[in-house]
Amino acid sequence: MVLILGGLGAGKKSYLRSLGFADAQMSNDPDADAPVLFALEETVKHDPASAEALLPKLMKKRFILCREVGSGVIPMDVKECEWREAVGRLCCALAEHADAVVRITAGIPIALKGELPCA
């Protein structure tokens, strides 16, 4: 499994397309049969308390895309803080088990762990 992190509009999906993945192979539903899960942060937003329970399902995916949500101003809303914390902890668990972790910045993939996937 490869974890791909990056800001909003950083080029995460474009990078996957360059690896040969079509939009039809990407889903934001962890139960879908698609090899790529995108918008992990939105999946966690529905139920931050059970985020770590998603780990077994997520480990079956080839790629997981997650927008970075922990940078910037700390929100005043407690629920927003809990969501960001849950996303961060889940990404830490995923990174620990991932074959590779890639950060996309301005469309440029940077390997944080392992090798960059090739097309």
pLDDT in tens, 6-48: 999 999 999 999 999 999 999 999 999 999 999 999 999 988 8
DSSP state of 41: H
Give yes or no for residue 119 having a pLDDT over 70.
Answer: no
Q: Which helix (H) or strand (E) holds 62?
A: none
Range of the domain at 76: 2-113
Residue 38 lies in a domain: yes
Q: What is the rounded distance in angstroms from the CA atom of residue 90 to the CA atom of residue 109?
A: 21
Residue 33 lies in a domain: yes
pLDDT of residue 55: 94
For the domain that residue 14 is a member of, what is the CATH number? 3.40.50.300
Q: How many domains does the chain have?
A: 1
Whole-model pTM? 0.92
Residue 47 lies in a domain: yes
Q: Mean of the pLDDT values across residues 69-78?
A: 82
Pick left, alpha or beta for residue 118 (phi over 0 → left; psi -120 to 50 → alpha; otherwise beta). Answer: beta
Q: Which residues contact 26 (CB under 8 A, 6 or more apart)?
A: 13, 16, 34, 36, 37, 38
pLDDT of residue 77: 84
Q: Mean of the pLDDT values across residues 52-77?
A: 90
